[in-house]
Structure 1
Amino acid sequence: MRIFYNLGIRAYGVIVWLAQPFTPKAKKWISGRKNWRKQLYNQPSLQGCYWFHCASLGEFEQGRPLLERVRHENPDQKIVITFFSPSGYEIRKNYEGADCILYLPLDTPQNARDFIDILQPDKAFFIKYEFWANYLFELKQQKIPVYNVSGLFRKEQRFFKKNNQFFRKVLGCFTHFFVQNESSKQLLNSIGISNVTISGDTRYDRVSENVKHIVSHPILSKFSSNHAVMVVGSSWPVDEDLLLPLINSGAIPERIIIAPHEVHESHITAIEKKLSVPFLRLSSCDSSTDFGQTHVLIIDCIGLLASAYYYGNYAYVGGAFGNGLHNILEPASFGLPVIFGPNHTKFPEAQTFIQAGIGFSISDETTFLNAYSSILSGGDTLRNQVSNFMSDQIGATQIIFSMI
């Protein structure tokens, strides 16, 4: 099986290489990995570092509370971060909390040996997913502790299929698993893995910390002043096709802040064409803007979603009419009940929110209006319920840090 795995890894590398002329992301994936050995050799001594590997930006934010706790407790500890995806690396390549940030070289046996021989980490942390067999086998061979942080497992994963000993051996390389929930622990236990602790999700620690550092935004503050606000966060066209007719009809009388997932001009223009109520783009506003009749404010830049949630009363989070629900912990950290679409089975926080009565899954206009009515009737009591729930989830970072 290992032979087929290695063939598959090399085939993947070839496919990405061939895609370079047509896909900018593929081009970055390849170019970012060039001369990685030289990049490591040119760094000041990194031996004895703590190595954090993240698939992309979401996993980085998940591992960040632990990484920053390590750095806070021991400022001299060297930190190395690797990313698999350009969408993580390109955004965080200048993050100041690490001594070295680079792409993870393709998971071939030679790359894994060379990478770990050069780096010689004291400990390795793989955040949530990412089970690269050759790296994990090499870490185990060199007796370097490796931890799975905020792990999340589902029964349909290949580890839990019959006659799949290879990938179970991959899991056997981990020194310890810190998983998010009981079902993940039980799945690992079912294949003979007992070195498991339910720590919870470190993202709760992250969003809780972010709330403390939100800075007032004058335009959002002025738009929201003396008005109830619904924040539409990380929306896709399918989300907007559901919500904008309701906004146009007056079914949602609150002021609306829309922060779409993609802020390129064609998407912003498409949203504007679908609106029949008065709207403005954030980029067109300044301190003198009169929002008197404005019903919708469109955030046409990145980096302000958390600030928008700060001014909201409840939120709709996009992505769950497609393949992936976006971050619902962030609005909840501000005490906002959250509405989202139906495709959320891979996101346990969504089920947890629903069970706690602070999250509402919808599938059409009717179910949206039902959720909207429940939120309005809940009022401040529901918002307090959200805040109390979020406070109860904090602490995963401390559990992990105390054990490593």
Structure 2
Amino acid sequence: MSTPVLFKAYRTATAVLEPAVLGLLLWRQRKGREDRTRLGERQGYPSRQRPKGHLIWVHGASIGETLSLLPIVERLTQRGLAVLVTSGTRTSASLIARRLPPGAVHQFMPLDVPRYIRRFLDHWQPDLALIAESEIWPNTVMALDERHIPLVMVNGRMSDRSFQRWQKLPGIIRSLLERFALCLAQTQDDAERLARLGAPRVVMTGNLKFDAAPPPADPRVVAHLSGLVAGRPVWLAASTHAGEEGAIVAVHRALAKRHPHLLTIIAPRHPHRGPEVAAIAAQAGLRASRRSEGIHPDRATDVYVADTVGEMGLFYRLSPIVVMGGSLVAHGGQNPIEPAKLGAAILHGPHVHNFEDVYNAIDLARGALMVKDSTALARAVSELLTNTALTRDMARAAGEAVQALGGAVERTMQSIEPFIVQAKLGARR
């Protein structure tokens, strides 16, 4: 397989600029975006021993991708295979560490620098690599190919925006996709785009996120907080982004007179923004408290900022109405599957292209409703707070729509079975 000139230039540039990449890591660490105690992992230095026997490497970029891979990880460990799970964010690392089954370990994904990738692969020596969604890093893909380690894209995505960008670099993307042993796509559209870009072996298996278990929550904590908010109208703005919290606070102010003792829970997508979100509420004259400070919502709390990691299962269980963040601004929307599985009526803005098929399915089933602006959002929240029967009907419809779209885990496992057999037999070596 030929290597495009642009890729050779990329490999050379990332090698030459390694000192600058290290500087970037240190800057990110100072900003709280990297774990200081595990910074070496981002340079390919291992912090764990390699398990004995055959090992499968599974990678997801962030929380959503990594959690969607958990059922695959569990199936692999049940087969007696060791599994290395990598991700790229602190929040995903914190969350995944609590949910990995025995036989699986977590490391941070090294940055796509040739020496970092060599160091990583020299230590872990995976027999198979499963990369989630659209994580196509050139040096990593080429290094796996050079070592004859089969590479499979699972839960593959290729949005129309990414497709248009890659079409401007046809030689590079074709050279990279040709090195994937198999691409398992979420949708038929994803499959067709991957094939048109040069992937020689593509199968549509569906979205793993439909099969992921809902996020857990300690029943005692759920019962305690449910008691604290009992009798109050509650709604949740989940995984919000900058520019959305102001609208959420404005909706609270608009609804507070009609719905006395209204409690608005805001869970920012990035928990470190908790102080910023609380300040937005305070500037609007509302009383805000933050979960990260160990404060529980009391009768005086207007806005409760859920700025912790790994507790979305708790807040989805507390609120019958969930507004999905990332959809009121042009971010593309956050995944609505978890609240649908936990019995919430779902509202979302117009910007949902990241999960367009999921939202279409739930909207069509009348389990979710699109609101175009904060005025429409206020009307919808008010209606759902008043009409509990409608809220229950929407929640049930959302859950049924998500359940009907399941089965991707089984199809994925069937598709990668030949590679698992190969790994267990040690055929590559």
CA contact (8 A) 1:93 1:102 kept: no
User: Does structure 1 residue 319 correspond to structure 2 residue 326?
Assistant: yes
1:108 and 1:33 map into 2 onto residues whose CA distance is: 13
| Matched AA of 2:376 | T
Greater shift, 145-154 or 258-267, is seen at 258-267
1:179 and 1:213 map into 2 onto residues whose CA distance is: 34
| Matched AA of 1:366 | T
1:185 and 1:361 map into 2 onto residues whose CA distance is: 27
Secondary structure class of the residue paired with 2:323: strand
Secondary structure class of the residue paired with 1:346: helix
Which runs of 5 or more structure 1 residues have no equivalent in the other structure? Answer: none
Query: Residue 395 of structure 1: which of 399, 407, 413 is its match?
Result: 407
Query: Residue 380 of structure 1: which of 382, 389, 392 is its match?
Result: 392
CA contact (8 A) 2:281 2:303 kept: no
Structure 2 CA distance for partners of 1:355 and 1:14, relative to 1, 3 Å: farther
Which runs of 5 or more structure 2 residues have no equivalent in the other structure? Answer: 1-5, 417-429
Structure 2 CA distance for partners of 1:273 and 1:128, relative to 1, 3 Å: same
Structure 1 residue 390: deviation in Å?
1.6
Structure-to-structure mapping, 1:216-227, within 5 angstroms: 216-227=221-232
Cα deviations by residue, 1:315-355 (Å, 9 ceiling, x for unpaired): 11223315353332221111212223333323333344334
Structure 2 CA distance for partners of 1:150 and 1:213, relative to 1, 3 Å: farther
Structure 1 residue 95: deviation in Å?
6.0
Query: 1:88 corresponds to which residue?
Result: 92
Cα deviations by residue, 1:119-162 (Å, 9 ceiling, x for unpaired): 33221100112112233233334433221111110233267515
CA contact (8 A) 2:44 2:117 kept: no
Query: 1:365 corresponds to which residue?
Result: 374
| Matched AA of 1:50 | I
Greater shift, 10-19 or 62-71, is seen at 10-19
User: Does structure 1 residue 15 correspond to structure 2 residue 13?
Assistant: no
Query: Residue 240 of structure 1: which of 238, 241, 245 is its match?
Result: 245
Structure 1 residue 49: deviation in Å?
0.2
TM-score scaled to structure 1, two decimals?
A: 0.82
1:359 and 1:300 map into 2 onto residues whose CA distance is: 25
Aligned residues: 396
Greater shift, 210-219 or 174-183, is seen at 210-219
Secondary structure class of the residue paired with 1:157: helix
Structure 2 CA distance for partners of 1:345 and 1:135, relative to 1, 3 Å: same
Cα deviations by residue, 1:149-206 (Å, 9 ceiling, x for unpaired): 1111023326751562222121111122221111101112334535222222212222
CA contact (8 A) 1:268 1:300 kept: no
Query: Residue 250 of structure 1: which of 238, 255, 266 is its match?
Result: 255
Structure-to-structure mapping, 1:87-126, within 5 angstroms: 87-89=91-93, 92=96, 96-97=100-101, 98-109=103-114, 111-113=116-118, 115-126=120-131
Secondary structure class of the residue paired with 2:347: strand
Structure 1 residue 301: deviation in Å?
3.9
Cα deviations by residue, 1:240-275 (Å, 9 ceiling, x for unpaired): 211222222336725433333435663254144145
Structure 2 CA distance for partners of 1:181 and 1:107, relative to 1, 3 Å: same
Query: Residue 143 of structure 1: which of 142, 145, 148 is its match?
Result: 148
Greater shift, 321-330 or 372-381, is seen at 372-381
CA contact (8 A) 2:368 2:394 kept: no
Query: Residue 198 of structure 1: which of 194, 204, 207 is its match?
Result: 204
1:225 and 1:14 map into 2 onto residues whose CA distance is: 55
User: Does structure 1 residue 345 correspond to structure 2 residue 349?
Assistant: no
Structure 1 vs Structure 2 CA RMSD: 3.5
| Matched AA of 1:132 | W
1:371 and 1:200 map into 2 onto residues whose CA distance is: 31
Greater shift, 301-310 or 274-283, is seen at 274-283
Structure 1 residue 314: deviation in Å?
1.2
Secondary structure class of the residue paired with 2:243: helix
CA contact (8 A) 1:46 1:119 kept: no
